[in-house]
Amino acid sequence: MSDAHSEQDWRAWFAEHGARLRLVARQWTRCEADADDVVQEAFVRFWKHQRHLPGNPNALVITSIRRAALDLLRRSDRRTVRERAVAADADVAEWFEPEADPRLQALANSLPSLSAEQREVVVLKIWGDLTFDQIGEQLEISPNTAASRWRYAMDALRKLITARTYE
């Protein structure tokens, strides 16, 4: 079978079954984006390695989707546990010298109040001295998404630091 013919075959098969597989994946994932990732990973694995196996191809793909989804959930849960442990152990204020800029000190003390996504952009922008293009590349997001996370983080930090100043 030629590569062009094989490409047409998988496109046709996926066009016919993709929406249903996405619904199946959504049952084991936490969001639509994760479902899309799981379907893609499972479908590629199936098409490259399993499509010639005997049996019902739908059952093989669904088994692959389920395994990919459970793997993703386990990875995500392990990451969350690690991040919480690090956050609990790490006193961000220790990162700075006593004579450090008090504004940076206030910012560092406020970082744990941000979401992980916002915190990562702030750290890369301020302490990594990266542009939004570079941040987007590092985090595999668009530069606009990086800039948006930055704006939301700055708004949240401004409110938090202002509130602390007037306490």
Higher pLDDT, 161 or 165: 161
Tokens of 63: 């088994």
The model's confidence at residue 146, banded by pLDDT at 50, 70 and 90, is very high
CATH classification at residue 124? 1.10.10.10
Together in a domain, 156 and 114: yes
Give yes or no for a contact between 28 and 69, defined as CB atoms under 8 angstroms apart: yes
SS3 115: coil
What's the rounded Cα separation, in Å, for the pair 137 and 50? 33
What are 132's two structure tokens? 């939004």
62 and 108 housed in the same domain: no
Which residue, of 84, 106, 132, is where some domain finishes?
Answer: 84
Is 80 in contact with 61 (CB distance < 8 Å)? no
Q: What is the pLDDT of residues 68-112, one digit of tens each?
A: 998 888 888 888 877 777 666 555 545 545 445 677 677 777 888
Which CATH number does the domain housing residue 58 bear?
1.10.1740
Q: Domain tally for the chain? A: 2
Domain end: 84, 116, 134, which one? 84
Domain that residue 118 falls in: 93-165
Q: Of the residues 54, 84, 114, which one is the last residue of a structural domain?
A: 84
- Considering the domain architecture, whether residues 50 and 120 belong to the same structural domain is answered as no
The answer on 100 and 39 residing in a single domain is: no
